[in-house]
C-alpha cells in the first residue's frame, strides 16, 4: 500500500489545504508585535460575512467545546433556567456544560437522525416564560442533521426573552447563516471543520442583546470572558497569547474562501451531499436522515446488511481512508462520511468508488460502479 | 471550484508525498559538513537494490537530460559509432545529444506505440560490429511503452562489444530492473517521476565495463564527469554543491520505499496500469500500446471520437486535474495519464471517474461508471 497517503473523510478534523499548511509553517512572531496586530486586525472583519453579522467575531484559542462553554458562562448564571434542544451527542454536550455550572436545564429531545420541530419548541417556550437561553445545534455532527436554526431563531425571538445560542461547529463556513437577520444571539464554530484548519481556534459572535446580557452576567469566568476579547479587539490584539501559526493558516483560509466565493463554497457542499446520498440510494443502503434534514457537511449511513466496523476497517487497511462510526446510542449502527472543507466532488467520487470496493471485500452483494454513476449523474445534472 | 486543489496525473513531474515535502523544508546545512556527509553516505547504498546493482549509484544535481548526456560523454567520443533505438520523443533525445558531440549515430526506429523488437536489434548489431554503444529507453514516456531491456541487454552483450546504455527516467523505482544480472552498462533516472521528488536530481549507475571505458574516453567533460562523482563518493561527498533540500527529500522517499517494500511498489504500479487500461477498454476507447508493451507508469490513450484537447481542458477547468497530451507526431492524437510514484489505486479510481464525467461534458456518449466498475473489478480480482 502506498506509504504516506491518507484520506480523512471523518466529520472533522478535515484535511488541510497545502497552501494553508505552508502558511502555518511561517516563522513565529511576537504576539504583541505590529505584525501580529496587522494580522489580527484583518481577520475579524473577514469572518463577519461568513457569520452573517455586523458584530465583532471573536477569535478564541481553544477547541470548539471551549466556545460552547464561552457561550454558556457569558450569558447565563447558576440557577437560571435554559432550554437545550438535543438532537444528538453535541446537543447533549450543551446540557453537560450547563449542568457543570448549576444552571437548571430543560431538555427537549428529538429522535437522533431527525431535525428539531420548531412548533414543539414554540409550544415549550410558551409554557416556560422564565427561560434565559435556548441552545441549539446547527449541524448535529453525530447524526448529520442540519437543524432549521432560521425557523428556531424566529420562534425564540417571537415568543421568549431568552437568548438563542447556536453551536455551528460542524457547518459554519460550509452552509449559509445570517446571524443578524435570523436573530441568532450567539453563534460559535471551530477551526477544524469547514474552516480547513487544525483544531485550536474557535470563533464566537454575539448580538447586541447578548453583549448587553454579558455586562451583568455574574458567572465567574476569566479565559472565557467574551468581554475581555472584545476589549482587546479595540487594540487589534487578544487578551491572551493566540495560536499564531493557526492565525497564519486562517489568513490563508480566508483567501481561499475569497478565491472560490462563499456562495460557491455553499453550492459545492450541497452538491457533495447530494452526490453521496444518491450513491447510497442507488445501492439501496439506508441513510439515517431524511433529505430535508440532511447536512451538506456530513452524511450518516445506517446499513442493515453489513457490519459498520468491517467496512471502516477495510477502508482503513486497504485505502488508508478514514470514515467515522456512530456515537453513543448509534455506535455500530451507522457510519458517517465527512464532506466538508477541503473536499471536492472529485474526492466524493473517489470516496464512493473505494467504499464500493470495500463493501464487496466484506461480502456485500452490489453492482460495482452503480453508486459512482449515480453521483456522476448528480454532478452533471 | 475548491481552491488550492490539484491532481497531477501527467507522466512526471509527479505529486510529492506530504512527508517528503516536509523533509525538504528542513533548515539548510553546509554541504561539506559532517551532517551532509552522513546523509550522502547512506543514500547511494539504498539506491543500489532499486537499480539492481552492486556498483555505486551516483547522485547528480541536474535534470534527467543531463544524466542522459552524462551517459554519452563518459562512454563515447566524437567519431565513434553508436546505435540509438528510437521508440518516441525520448529515444530521439539520445540521438540529438550524440549528434551534438559529433558521434556517428545509427538509428533504428520502432513505430511510436510499439516496443523494440530484440531480433531486429540483433540483426542490426551483427551487421555493424564497430558500434561503441547501444542506447535504449526503458519506458518511452511519449508513448507509454515499456521496452524489453532485459532481452535487449542480452542481445547486445552476446553479439557486440558496445556498451548498453538505458534511459530509465520514467520508470525506475516503479518497475523491476536488474542492472548487473541483465547486463545493462549504464542506467540513469531522474527524481521527478517514480521517485516522488521535484526535478533536480538524477541517478546514474555504471557497470565495471563502463567504468573501465570511462578511464580512457576522450570526450571533454567537467560537471558531467562521472569519475569525479565516484571519486568524491569515496569521501562521502559530491564534486559540486548538491541540491541538499532534494537530498533531504530523497532520504524520506527511500524510507517510504522501505515502508511499502519495493516488490509492493512494483505490484501497485502494475495494478494501476491494468485498472486504467480496463477502464478505457470498457468504454471501447482505444489504447495506443498493446498489453505486452504497456508501461506500469504511463498510459497513452488514442481516441477516435472525441477531441483530446477538449477533454484535457475540461478536466483542468472542472477538476483541476492535469493529464498530458501527445508529443511531436502524436500531438492532438493521444492523451497520456501518469500513474507513478505517489499515486494509489484510489487515485486511479478517482481519475477514471472524473474522466468519465468530463467525457460526457464534451459530448461523448458513454455509460457513466462503467470504466470505474471495470477498474474496481481488476482491483478486486
Tell me what pLDDT residue B76 has.
97
Which residue from A minimizes the CA distance to B355?
Answer: A346
Which residue from B minimizes the CA distance to A353?
Answer: B349
From CA A257, how far away is CA A334, in angstroms rounded? 32
B270 touches chain A (CB under 8 A): no
Chain B CB contacts of A376 under 8 Å are 353, 356-357, 360, 368-369
B262 touches chain A (CB under 8 A): no
B54 touches chain A (CB under 8 A): no
Tell me what pLDDT residue A346 has.
98
**CATH assignment of A18-258, among 3.30.410.40, 3.50.30.50, 3.40.1190.20, 3.40.640.10:** 3.40.640.10
- Contact, A179 vs A204, CB < 8 A? no
CA distance B306 to chain A (A): 18
C-alpha cell at B258: 522501505
Picking from B1, B4, B263 by the largest number of A CB atoms within 10 A of its own CB, the best residue to mutate is B4
| Class of the domain covering B7-14+262-380 | alpha beta
Chain A CB contacts of B379 under 8 Å are 357
Backbone angles phi, psi at B174, to 5 degrees: -125, -15
- Contact at CB, A373 and B368, closer than 8 angstroms: yes
From CA B179, how far away is CA A327, in angstroms rounded? 55
CA distance A353 to chain B (A): 7
Tell me what pLDDT residue A114 has.
98
Of A5, A259, A369, the CB nearest to B372: A369
Strands A139-140, B145-146: pairing is unpaired
- Contact at CB, B5 and A379, closer than 8 angstroms: no
Burial of B292 (0-12, 13-18, 19+ CB in 10 A): exposed
- Contact at CB, B3 and A17, closer than 8 angstroms: yes
Backbone angles phi, psi at A87, to 5 degrees: -120, 5
Which residues of chain B form CATH 3.90.1150.10? 7-14+262-380
Picking from B315, B350, B381 by the largest number of A CB atoms within 10 A of its own CB, the best residue to mutate is B350
C-alpha cell at B42: 547512506
C-alpha cell at B14: 509527479
A354 touches chain B (CB under 8 A): yes
Chain A CB contacts of B356 under 8 Å are 376
Kindly give the parts of chain B with pLDDT less than 50. Answer: none
Diameter of chain A by CA atoms?
A: 63
B176 touches chain A (CB under 8 A): no
Which residue from B minimizes the CA distance to A321?
Answer: B346
A270 touches chain B (CB under 8 A): no
A267 touches chain B (CB under 8 A): no
Could you report the per-residue pLDDT of A215-245, keeping only the tens digit for each?
999 999 999 999 999 999 999 999 999 999 9
Tell me what pLDDT residue B60 has.
97
B25 touches chain A (CB under 8 A): yes
Could you report the per-residue pLDDT of B278-298, keeping only the tens digit for each?
999 999 999 999 999 999 999
B261 touches chain A (CB under 8 A): no
B19 touches chain A (CB under 8 A): yes
Tell me what pLDDT residue A80 has.
98
- Contact at CB, B319 and A345, closer than 8 angstroms: yes
User: With b meaning 16 or more CB within 10 Å and e meaning fewer, what string describes A297-309?
Assistant: bbbbbbbeebebe
A377 touches chain B (CB under 8 A): yes
Asked whether the CA dihedral B164, B290, B325, B345 is positive or negative, the reply is negative
Of A343, A349, A356, the CB nearest to B350: A349
CA distance A59 to chain B (A): 24
Tell me what pLDDT residue B155 has.
98
Nearest alpha carbon to residue A199 among A75, A341, A97, A335? A341
A195 touches chain B (CB under 8 A): no
Nearest alpha carbon to residue B363 among A187, A380, A181? A380
Which residues of chain A form CATH 3.40.640.10? 18-258
Q: How far is CA A321 from CA A107, A353, B153, in A?
A: 37, 12, 42
Tell me what pLDDT residue A58 has.
97
Tell me what pLDDT residue A221 has.
96
Residue B186, strand partner residues: B165, B206
H-assigned helices in chain B = 18-24, 34-51, 64-73, 89-100, 118-127, 149-159, 179-182, 208-216, 226-234, 244-260, 262-282, 308-319, 345-361, 370-380
Of B17, B260, B380, the CB nearest to A357: B380
* Selected residues 312-331 of chain B with any CB under 8 Å from a CB in chain A: 319, 321
Of B2, B342, B349, the CB nearest to A350: B349
Size of interface A-B (CB pairs under 8 A): 128
Determine if residue A51 is left, alpha or beta; phi over 0 gives left, psi from -120 to 50 gives alpha, anything else beta.
alpha
Residue B81, strand partner residues: B104, B131
Tell me what pLDDT residue A140 has.
96
B256 touches chain A (CB under 8 A): yes
Tell me what pLDDT residue B56 has.
96
- Contact at CB, A3 and B259, closer than 8 angstroms: yes
- Contact, B266 vs B274, CB < 8 A? no
- Contact at CB, B17 and A5, closer than 8 angstroms: yes
- Contact at CB, A360 and B345, closer than 8 angstroms: no
* pLDDT tens by residue, chain A, 381 residues: 899 999 999 999 999 999 999 999 999 999 999 999 999 999 999 999 999 999 999 999 999 999 999 999 999 999 999 999 999 999 999 999 999 999 999 999 999 999 999 999 999 999 999 999 999 999 999 999 999 999 999 999 999 999 999 999 999 999 999 999 999 999 999 999 999 999 999 999 999 999 999 999 999 999 999 999 999 999 999 999 999 999 999 999 999 999 999 999 999 999 999 999 999 999 999 999 999 999 999 999 999 999 999 999 999 999 999 999 999 999 999 999 999 999 999 999 999 999 999 999 999 999 999 999 999 999 999
DSSP summary character for residue A12: S
Strands A324-325, A7-8: pairing is unpaired
- Contact at CB, B1 and A372, closer than 8 angstroms: no
Could you report the per-residue pLDDT of A38-93, keeping only the tens digit for each?
999 999 999 999 999 999 999 999 999 999 999 999 999 999 999 999 999 999 99
Chain B CB contacts of A268 under 8 Å are 1-2
- Contact at CB, A4 and B25, closer than 8 angstroms: no
A346 touches chain B (CB under 8 A): yes
ipTM above 0.95, yes or no: no
CA angle A157, A158, A164 (to 5 degrees): 20
- Contact at CB, A17 and B25, closer than 8 angstroms: no
Which residue from B minimizes the CA distance to A26?
Answer: B25
From CA B381, how far away is CA B263, in angstroms rounded? 19
B1 touches chain A (CB under 8 A): yes
- Contact at CB, B344 and A1, closer than 8 angstroms: yes
Picking from A267, A320, A353, A366 by the largest number of B CB atoms within 10 A of its own CB, the best residue to mutate is A353
A369 touches chain B (CB under 8 A): yes
Mean pLDDT of chain B: 97
Amino acid at each position: 500500500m502506498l506509504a504516506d497517503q491518507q484520506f480523512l473523510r471523518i466529520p472533522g478534523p478535515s484535511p488541510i489545504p497545502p497552501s494553508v499548511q505552508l502558511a502555518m509553517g511561517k516563522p513565529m512572531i511576537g504576539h504583541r508585535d505590529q505584525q501580529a496586530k496587522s494580522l489580527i486586525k484583518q481577520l475579524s472583519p473577514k469572518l463577519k460575512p461568513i457569520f452573517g453579522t455586523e458584530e465583532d467575531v471573536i477569535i478564541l484559542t481553544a477547541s470548539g467545546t471551549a466556545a460552547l462553554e464561552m457561550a454558556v458562562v457569558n450569558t447565563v448564571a447558576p440557577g437560571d433556567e435554559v432550554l437545550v434542544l438535543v438532537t444528538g451527542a453535541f446537543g447533549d454536550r450543551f446540557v453537560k456544560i450547563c449542568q457543570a455550572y448549576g444552571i437548571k436545564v430543560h431538555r427537549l429531545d428529538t429522535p437522533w437522525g431527525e431535525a428539531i420541530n420548531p412548533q414543539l419548541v414554540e409550544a415549550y417556550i410558551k409554557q416556560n416564560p422564565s427561560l434565559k437561553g435556548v441552545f441549539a445545534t446547527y449541524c448535529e455532527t453525530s447524526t448529520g442533521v442540519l437543524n432549521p436554526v432560521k425557523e428556531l431563531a424566529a420562534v425564540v425571538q417571537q415568543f421568549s426573552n431568552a437568548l438563542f445560542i447556536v453551536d455551528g461547529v460542524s457547518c459554519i463556513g460550509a452552509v449559509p447563516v445570517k446571524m443578524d437577520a435570523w436573530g441568532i444571539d450567539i453563534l460559535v464554530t471551530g477551526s477544524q471543520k469547514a474552516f480547513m484548519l487544525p483544531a485550536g481556534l474557535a470563533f464566537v459572535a454575539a448580538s447586541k442583546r447578548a453583549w448587553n446580557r454579558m455586562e451583568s452576567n455574574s458567572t465567574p469566568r476569566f479565559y472565557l470572558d467574551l468581554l475581555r476579547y472584545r476589549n482587546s479587539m479595540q487594540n487589534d490584539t487578544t487578551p491572551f497569547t493566540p495560536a499564531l501559526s493557526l492565525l497564519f493558516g486562517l489568513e490563508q483560509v480566508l483567501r481561499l474562501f475569497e478565491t472560490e466565493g462563499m456562495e460557491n463554497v455553499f453550492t459545492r457542499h450541497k452538491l457533495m451531499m447530494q452526490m453521496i446520498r444518491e450513491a447510497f440510494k442507488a445501492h439501496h443502503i439506508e441513510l439515517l436522515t431524511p433529505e430535508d434534514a440532511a447536512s451538506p457537511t456530513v452524511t450518516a449511513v445506517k446499513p442493515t446488511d453489513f457490519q459498520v466496523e468491517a467496512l471502516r476497517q477495510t477502508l482503513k487497511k486497504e485505502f488508508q481512508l478514514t470514515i467515522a462510526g456512530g456515537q453513543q446510542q448509534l455506535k455500530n449502527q451507522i457510519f458517517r462520511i465527512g464532506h466538508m472543507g477541503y473536499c471536492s466532488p472529485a474526492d466524493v467520487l473517489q470516496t464512493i468508488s473505494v467504499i464500493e470496493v470495500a463493501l464487496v471485500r466484506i461480502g456485500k452483494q452490489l453492482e460495482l460502479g452503480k453508486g459512482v454513476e449515480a453521483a456522476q449523474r448528480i454532478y452533471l445534472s
